[in-house]
Structures are given as structure tokens and as C-alpha cells.
Structure 1
Amino acid sequence: MRRIAFLWVGLAAACIALGAAAAFETRASRLQAIKTVGIVSAIGEEMSLTRAGLTGLGNAAQSASISAWGLDELIVQQATKLLGGRFRVQPVSYRRAAFAAIRDSAVAPVNLLRSDPFKELVRSDVTPQGLDAYIVITRARSKLGNGRNVEGVGLAEYRTLLADYGLIHALYEVRVVDGKSFDVIEKRAAAPLDNTGTVRIAGPSGPVDEPFERSASSERLRAAIADLIIRSLPLTLGDMHLIEGQ
């Protein structure tokens, strides 16, 4: 009986491996067929201000407008430059607020069985239609330490008994949406650039000493957030095999 059980386990593992290989081959072939793409960026025009840790859990989250920063325009510009070596990138129009309003990340494990919320939005809200694919870049979410959820662009203070830590983050995820079926061919959340800090977060982030009061008006803070995006975007697109040579 033990031998039969081992055989069943081995057969199941082989089937899983074959299924994964077939899925990768299908995904790779679908990516290979893409010639024209449009880029949608909607990480939002607000920055979250979050306090967390031993003394901050009772504080309500705040937000500040950063529409003047032009982060979505920066992302489209950088993505166009990176993807232009492989695809023909065409400008598209879309309601940025509609994409930014979707708060639930379909990349999270709990949502893997749900229909991706951006599928219908690409079909109904992006023009022109008919491109081979649409690259959709939106907010992602992560835990700050063992406390609050944080998402998108933000500034956080994490307090312990011994010290306070300031952290900026630019959390986003990238989807490749088929321009004909509107199925999501590939999706990935941007990974951390450096995960060696005292307070870690699952996405591009870095230490900062900027106080909350001057956050949205700080050119230094805007430049630091832009740097996180500029440095992480080629790594994320490369991990998704969207950049030539990757």
C-alpha cells in the first residue's frame, strides 16, 4: 500500500509539473504573438499617510493629493521607453479614476479564483480597441510590519518601543490584458528593491525622514517616489519577459 501511495504521489507531482509547463508555454506563446500594446497607468493621485506599530495602530489613515506629481504620466513614459524595443506602443485614452477606484488586488492569493476586475474595464473604458494587448499598471497592497495594510504610493511611520522608522512606498502591479479576449495573460506585483531594512514591505520602498506635515509639497519626497518607480519598473517588466532580451 505504501508503494502504491508513493506512486500516486509521484504521478500527481508529474501531472502538476506538466500542467505548469503547459501553462508557461501557452503564456509565452501568447506574449510572443503580441505586436501592438497600449499602456494604462492608474496608481492614483493620492498618497496615503499611515502610522503603524506599537503606538500607532489607533491612528486613522490619512491621505494627501499628489496629482501635481504626474506619476502616472511618468510611468507611461518610462514603460513606453522600455517596451518600445519589442512592441509597437500606441497611445490610449482611458478614465484613470475608474481604474484607480478598484481597491482589491487580484494578484493576492485570496483572489486567484475571482474574475480579474480590470478585464471588463479594459474592454469598456480604453480606446482605441483592437490592439494586441494592454499593459495595465495599478496599485498593489502590502502589510506594513504586522500592522496596517498599505497600498499604492505612500509615506508611513512605523513605531516600536525603541525607535521610529519612516518609509516611503510605491506599490504597484502590472497586468498584460489580451486585446481580443480581454483575458489576463500575465500579472505580477513589483518586488522589493532592497529587503534588508528594519521594516520590510512587499514592494518597492525605502527609508525616509520626511515628516507628514510637508509630505505632499516636498520635491525631495516626489523625487524619491519617482526613483522607486524608475528603478523597479524595468525589473518588473523584465521578470514578466516583456523587455527584449529578458
Structure 2
Amino acid sequence: MSVSDLMTGLMIIFMFITVAYMERVRETHKVLEDYVETKQQLHEELSKNFDQETKMGELTLGNDLSMKFNNASSLFEPGSSDLNDTFKCKLKKFLPKYLNTLLSSKFSDQIMEIRIEGHTDDKPYSLHSDPYIANAILSQRRALSVLMYMRSMPEYLSMDKDKKKKLDFWFTANGFSFGKSLDKDGNFTYVTNNEIDCDKSRRVEFRIITRGEDVLEDFVEKVN
């Protein structure tokens, strides 16, 4: 084989590698683009539909598609997982609009999970000798109480079978104890090393997880 033939062969191999690499870059860009677009569109829909509640400070909408109920004293009594009347009124107003927004969204098929998260401060309770476990039990019970209340609402009970099946797939109840406690600025104390703000740490959040996370993980596995 002549030198020119060898160089031609190497150039052809190089061209194939370049084309394959560019195709992989395009695929990566498309995955990231769809992921960002889905989160942005869902955020815009939630922001529009809950504009009044966020302006009044009843709810906080995060960039991560979380919706946080503020004013901890209006959610549960200390050490209790029973919804108080004030929180029930808030949920009665919030949940039908929230569910309708997500079920009617053109991105509803991109939703993988909706987590109801219970969070506490680091005050010990008698549920367990380990304060973290005691608060994990309490926060889990609180998240579950919210889920049970949602499923008892007339708006949920009157839904058709397909919508209920989708909500069964979406919703989970999760207790985080004080593992994700917040400081006075609303940042994680684990990150900032600041003191826990008990009022901000005691909270309930609804968090949307999109299919984008799974798509990105699958793509990375294929690339590797």
C-alpha cells in the first residue's frame, strides 16, 4: 500500500469519526434543549396560574419546579401530623388548580413524579430516641397526610379512571426530617453552615420531577 493510499484511508476514518462526533453533539444538544424547554414551560404555567398566591407570600415557586407552602405555624401543630383547618383551606384552594394545571399541560407526559415533601426543624420528638429518625417519621406522616387529603377531595374522587391512574403514577409522599433544613435566607444549612431557621425549615413542598432527568441519564449511559 502506497503512502497516498494510507493517507486517504486515514482521512476517511477521520471523517467518519468527525461525523459520528457531530451527531452525538447534536443529540446531546437536543436532549438538553428539550429538558430545559419542558422545565421552563411548566414553570411559566405554574407562575401564571398561581400568580396571586405567590405575590401574597402564601406560596413560593422555585426554579426547580417546587411549590413551597410558607408560614409553618399554619400547616401543622408542633409534633402533629394532622392537617389543621388553616392548611386544609389552603390545600382545598391549591390542589384542584395545581392538578388541573398539570393534567391539562401539553407537557404532562413529560412528568415522571410529583413529590409531596415533608420537612422539619431539628427539634427532638418522642417518636424515636434518634432525633433525626423521629423527625423522619413525623415529616413522612405529614407528607402522607397531605396525600391522603388530596385523594379524599371531591375534585379527585370525581376524576375519570385514566386521570386517577396518572396521579397514582405521579404522586409520592416523602419525609426528609431536618436533612434539608434552611437558614434565615432560605438556603440549605448543610451548604451554608448557618444556624437552622426553624420556621423556614418546617415546610411542605410539592416538587415536579420531569422525564428529562431519566433521558439525560440514559443518554450518558449510551455515550459511555
Asked whether the two chains share a fold, i.e. TM above 0.5, the reply is no
Please identify which structure carries the higher helix content. 2
Please identify which structure carries the higher strand content. 1
Give the structure-1-normalised TM-score.
0.27
Q: Which has the higher contact order (CA 8 A, sep 6+)?
A: 2
